[in-house]
Amino acid sequence: MALAGNPYDGHTLATVIPDMQRIIGSETQRILADAGYRGHNAPQSHMLRVFTAGQKRRVTPAIKRQMRRRSAAEPVIGQIKSEHRMGRNYLAHAQGGAINAILAAAGYNFSLLLTWLKQFLWLLIAALHIRPKQLTA
C-alpha cells in the first residue's frame, strides 16, 4: 500500500492492518517488523503482537525462525531499490508510488525469469553437444 508523504514506519500500522487482513482473509495475530516499528500505533482492537528486529523478550524459537526468514527478504528489497530505481519515486502522487513499486517488482521478476531461461538454454546446449560413446565390438 502506498502511503502519501513520508510517514514514520510505526505510525502506518493502523491504516495497513485492516487492509492486510481484508486481503489475506484472516485475522493477524503477530507482525514481524523492522526496528522502526517500535512504539507502533497498532489498534488494541486487533489484539496482535508486533515483534521488531533486535527484540529479546518474549521471542520464542518459532518467532526467531520466522524473523530469520523475514530478514532473508531484506537483500531483495535492497537490490530492487538499487537496480530498479526504487531509491527515489519519479512518478507523482500516491498512485505513482504504487505504480513504481509494481513496475519494480515486475522488473525484478522478469530478471529472475531471464536468468532461469539463460541457465536452461545452457543446459540444453550442453545436452545436445554430448554425444554417446559408440559401441565397439
Angle at 115 between CA 122 and CA 1, to 5 degrees: 165
Closest CA to 17 of 58, 52, 48, 51: 48
How crowded is residue 55: how many other Cβ atoms within 10 Å of its Cβ?
16
pLDDT digits (tens, 9 = 90+) for 65-90: 888 887 777 788 788 878 877 777 77
pLDDT digits (tens, 9 = 90+) for 19-50: 888 888 888 888 887 777 776 777 776 667 77
